[in-house]
Amino acid sequence: MTLEMRPFPEDEDDGTAAARRRFTDSGYLVLPGLLPEALVRRLEPEVDRWVDDGLRARSIASSLDPDTHGAPPLLELELPAHGELLAFPPLLTLLDDLLGCPFVFHHMHSDRHGPGSAGKPWHHDYEPNAGADASLVMVHALHYLGGLTTEMGRLVVLPGSHREAAGKTARAHLGTAEIPGEAVIDRLPPGSTVLINSALFHARRPTPGRPGRPRYFVDASYCQTGARWRPVKPYWRHMLARARELDLGGGRWPELFAERHFTEYAATA
Ligand SMILES: [Fe+2]
C-alpha cells in the first residue's frame, strides 16, 4: 500500500515497509507536520475551551469518582476538530499498515501545558488485555499541535524499550533524568505527531526557567483487535457510543468503536 502522507524525516524516499521496520525496532515514528494547518487552527481553540472551561477537570473527576460524577458533560471526541483528529484518515491508514489488522480506539486526552509546567517521569502507557497477550500492540498518537521547540517541555523516548516486560512505572524512580540511549524530540513543526508503541518508555522533560509558548498536546490511543482490552474510563461505553453516533471515521473502520474489544471497567489502585 502506498501512503499518501508526508515523508518521514530521515529519508524522503523511505517506503512504508521501512517505516514499519523502524516502528517495530525502535518503537516510535516521528511524523513532522502530519496534520493540516486548517485542522490545527480549529483544534487549538478547542483545547483552550477544554482546559479553560473546566471540561478537562470534569472529565478527570468523572474518571476518578464515577459514582459521584457519572459521565462528563462533554467528551474530547465530541469537540468537532478533536473528533476529526481521532479518525484522521492519513493517521488511520498508517495504523492500518503498521498494525496489519483491525484496531479499536481506546481513549483520547487533550491538554495545554504551560511554559513552566512540571515534567512527567519515565513511564509507559501500555494497558493489559484479558488474554495477557503482550504481542498485541497498543499505540499512542502524540499530537503536538503547535509543534515542539527547545523552550517547551521536550519528549524523550527510550528506543527499543517497548520490547521489555516491565511495569508502567519501572523507571519512575529516575524522574525525567537522562538515560543512556534515549532520543530527545524537541524540534517539531506545528501539526506534528509522534506515533509510539504504548509500551515504549517515554517522559516529558521540563525546561526550567525558559519562558515559552504553551504546549498544545492531544493524544489518542488505538489497540490491535484480538483480545479484550481494559478500558481506562468508567464511561467507556458512552464514549464509544458517542463516537458511533457522530460517525467518526465514516464507517471506514468497522472495529474502531466496537464494544466487544473491551473488558468491564475496573478501577486501579
Ligand atoms: Fe505517556
* Residue ranges of domains in the chain, CATH in brackets: 57-261 (2.60.120.620)
Distance 111 CA to ligand 1 centre (A): 13
CA 202 to centroid of ligand 1, rounded, Å: 6
Highest mean pLDDT among 123-132, 243-252, 259-268: 243-252
For residues 244 and 240, give the distance between their C-alpha atoms in angstroms, rounded to a whole number. Answer: 6
Q: In the prediction, which pLDDT does 209 show?
A: 67
As a whole number of angstroms, the distance between CA 202 and CA 183 comes to 9
Ligand 1 centroid–CA 157 distance in Å is 10
Whole-angstrom distance, CA of residue 260 vs CA of residue 228: 7
Measure 232 CA to ligand 1 centroid, in angstroms. Answer: 14
Give the model confidence (pLDDT) of 135-147 as tens digits.
999 999 999 999 9
The reported pTM is 0.92
**Measured between alpha carbons, how far is 1 from 99 in angstroms, rounded to an integer?**
13
Q: pLDDT tens across 206-251, in order? A: 887 666 788 999 999 999 999 999 999 999 999 999 999 999 999 8
Q: Are 113 and 199 in contact (CB under 8 A)?
A: no
CA 206–ligand 1 middle distance (angstroms): 14
What is the whole-number distance in angstroms between the Cα of residue 120 and the centre of ligand 1?
Answer: 8
Expressed in angstroms and rounded, the spacing between residue 13 Cα and the centre of ligand 1 is 30
Q: Which residue has the higher pLDDT, 169 or 65?
A: 169
CA distance 234 to 94: 29
Looking up cell 464507517 gives: 251
CA of 196 to the centre of ligand 1 (A): 9
